[in-house]
Amino acid sequence: MTRTIVIAGGTTGMGRAIALDRLRRGDRVVAIGRSETNARELAEAAAEEDRRRLTFLRADLSTLAENDRVAAEIASSHGAIDALVLCANRHNRARTTTADGLEATFALYYLSRFLLGEALREQLADGGGVVVNVAAPGIKAGSVRWDDLQFERGYRGLKAQLQAGRLNDLLGVGFAAAHGADSPIRYVLFHPGFTRSGTASLSPPARTLIRLLGAVAALSPARAVEPILPLLDDPPHAPLTAIDRGRPVSLDLPTFDPGDARRLRALTEELVSRLRQRGCYSIATPTEAVNQAT
Ligand SMILES: NC(=O)c1ccc[n+]([C@@H]2O[C@H](COP(=O)([O-])OP(=O)(O)OC[C@H]3O[C@@H](n4cnc5c(N)ncnc54)[C@H](OP(=O)(O)O)[C@@H]3O)[C@@H](O)[C@H]2O)c1
């Protein structure tokens, strides 16, 4: 059976490794990213006979309008979705704001994942699908700044990354709670461990250091995603599962607090509704889908 796998951030690193594996298995893959060059390299890495099952959607997922646009395009071009894999992320050394005026790490690493999961839930439900949110479940470092989620004070790139990782833990809890135990959609929070990817946006010295460390201590993207692949064919039974490098993570950890998850979901819904009222659609870029099929 040909399955449909949507990968946000599917053009490099772990998203790319999952895309290539699924194409080899005969699935349809929709890879979302910003760079045509990365998309072309992904297509070239796939076997020629697999490329016609690869669609690249170019989008900047750090804006509300772009998330809405790609979700609408996916919903109109594909029926049921078997898996939505969330990998898009970028390290921002200095505080950066998006076209919507949001702090960029919050917007891409957290809010986009909320938006895509919600916008594609009908298609996921039709396929009895699974959402795999690749982040850092259970991580104890960092904290959630409830009074300053977008780091208007004291921004540090690493702190913003750690916070967004924790917001994704709460996102998983909130998604499972909001859609109920009877929902056919399964949500998996996945920690890949230290992987030889994701260094493109680091400063040159940090990139060199991480690459040197990575050469001895990190997994290749293909190895890091190995525990994800069986979950795409056979999702766990529980509405929410957290996994760290193949091992289960207890959902009793404080980072999965249900009260915090409800609070974050309410804040997020309010933020999204405010952005929509403000008419963030005015900044939407024209529809653009580049199908890599020849
Ligand atoms: N690498 C690690 O050691 C590690 C450890 C723990 C957790 N993780 C998590 O694992 C996930 C995947 O990491 P990775 O190392 O595979 O990262 P990566 O190689 O940097 O891949 C990031 C992907 O996101 C896309 N992207 C970046 N900005 C985007 C935007 N504004 N709009 C749309 N797409 C965008 C990139 O494509 P374009 O550049 O073409 O846009 C690329 O496809 C991340 O969430 C990361 O936090 C990684």
Say which residues have a Cβ less than 8 Å from residue 52's Cβ, sequence separation at least 6: 293, 294
pLDDT per position as a tens digit, 266-280: 999 999 999 999 875
> Can you give the pLDDT at residue 218?
86
**What spacing in Å lies between the alpha carbon of 178 and ligand 1's midpoint?**
27
**What spacing in Å lies between the alpha carbon of 63 and ligand 1's midpoint?**
16
> Can you give the pLDDT at residue 68?
97
Q: Which atom of ligand 1 is nearest to the CA of 165?
A: 47
> Can you give the pLDDT at residue 203?
84
Ligand 1 pocket residue status of 265, Cβ below 6 Å:
no
Q: Which atom of ligand 1 is nearest to the CA of 218?
A: 3
Ligand 1 pocket residue status of 9, Cβ below 6 Å:
yes
Ligand 1 pocket residue status of 194, Cβ below 6 Å:
yes
Which residue's structure tokens are 């016609």?
52
Show the beta-strand stretches assigned E in 20-88: 28-33, 54-58, 83-86
Give the strand pairing for 186-191 and 130-134.
Answer: parallel
Q: How many helices (H) and strands (E) does the chain have?
A: 11, 9
**What spacing in Å lies between the alpha carbon of 181 and ligand 1's midpoint?**
30
Ligand 1 pocket residue status of 11, Cβ below 6 Å:
yes
**What spacing in Å lies between the alpha carbon of 164 and ligand 1's midpoint?**
13
**What spacing in Å lies between the alpha carbon of 200 and ligand 1's midpoint?**
9
- Residue closest via CA to ligand 1's atom 37 equals 33
Which domains are delineated in the chain?
Answer: 4-291 (3.40.50.720)
Distances (CA, A) of 94 to 2, 100, 197: 43, 17, 20
Pocket probe mutation, ligand 1, options 38, 90, 219, max atoms within 8 Å of Cβ: 90
Ligand 1 pocket residue status of 137, Cβ below 6 Å:
no
Ligand 1 pocket residue status of 67, Cβ below 6 Å:
no
165 φ, ψ to 5°?
A: -60, -45
Q: Which two tokens stand for residue 61?
A: 């997922």
128-160 in b/e form (b: 16+ CB < 10 A) is: ebbbbbbbbbbbeebebeeeebbbeeebebebb
- Residue closest via CA to ligand 1's atom 12 equals 87
Whether residue 114 contacts residue 136, with contact meaning beta carbons closer than 8 Å, is answered with no
**What spacing in Å lies between the alpha carbon of 197 and ligand 1's midpoint?**
8
Q: Which atom of ligand 1 is nearest to the CA of 201?
A: 20
- Residue closest via CA to ligand 1's atom 43 equals 9
**What spacing in Å lies between the alpha carbon of 199 and ligand 1's midpoint?**
9
Q: Block means of pLDDT (10 residues each) for the chain, length 294 residues?
A: 95 98 98 98 97 98 97 94 98 96 98 98 95 95 96 96 98 96 95 88 82 83 97 96 96 97 98 88 38 35
Whether residue 102 contacts residue 157, with contact meaning beta carbons closer than 8 Å, is answered with no
Distances (CA, A) of 202 to 206, 266, 269: 6, 33, 31
